[in-house]
Amino acid sequence: MRERKVAVKVDDLMQAGYVYFLTEPAGRNFDPDFKPELTPREMLELGVFGGKYMTDCRREFPASWFKRARLCHEQHDARLNFFKVNASQPLSVWKKKGWIYHEDPRGWFQWYCRYYMGRRCPDDKRQIKRWRAVQRHVAQLKQNCPQRALDCRPRQRQALLHWAYDSRKI
């Protein structure tokens, strides 16, 4: 059986001339430790990162992801987030903490979008470990909020959406 390998060329505001390969079918064959509750499309439709995150890289991903996405090319707008609060840290903080992998200059969500599409890379284990560590926030919501009380800890709920956890169901 021949290995599937599709080249993706990236040319956007943060990355030019980068090429990666899709080796898995989109949305399938994830690491068994990685079970996101939301797809990138669902996250964009719900409203994450103040709408600013994916405004210049639409050609890299399926057009269907952007049909109902809540985006704002000009600036971060917390009103576009599902919980209408800012739960983001600036990219400068991510860089300072060493969270940015050189192939994914936008951070975890860019990694997830590419992973979802079928790219596998040396950073997968680290990113999945970071995703799993966010589960502590799920536990905090369950401990401190009535079930599905969406007005309880909205910033924490929004942050969980940024990590593909569906905090509307907690």
CA 77/CA 88 separation, integer angstroms: 11
CA 83/CA 78 separation, integer angstroms: 8
The continuous run of DSSP H or E covering 85 comes out as: none
Question: In this predicted structure, what is the pLDDT of residue 109?
Answer: 96
121 CB burial (10 A radius; 0-12, 13-18, 19+): middle
- What are the residue ranges spanned by the domains of the chain? 6-169
Three-class secondary structure of residue 101 per DSSP: strand
Cα of 6 vs its chain's centroid, Å? 22
pLDDT (tens digit per residue) in 121-168: 999 999 999 999 999 999 999 999 999 999 999 999 999 999 999 999
Whole-structure pTM value: 0.94
pLDDT (tens digit per residue) in 41-89: 999 999 999 998 888 989 999 999 999 999 998 889 999 999 999 998 8
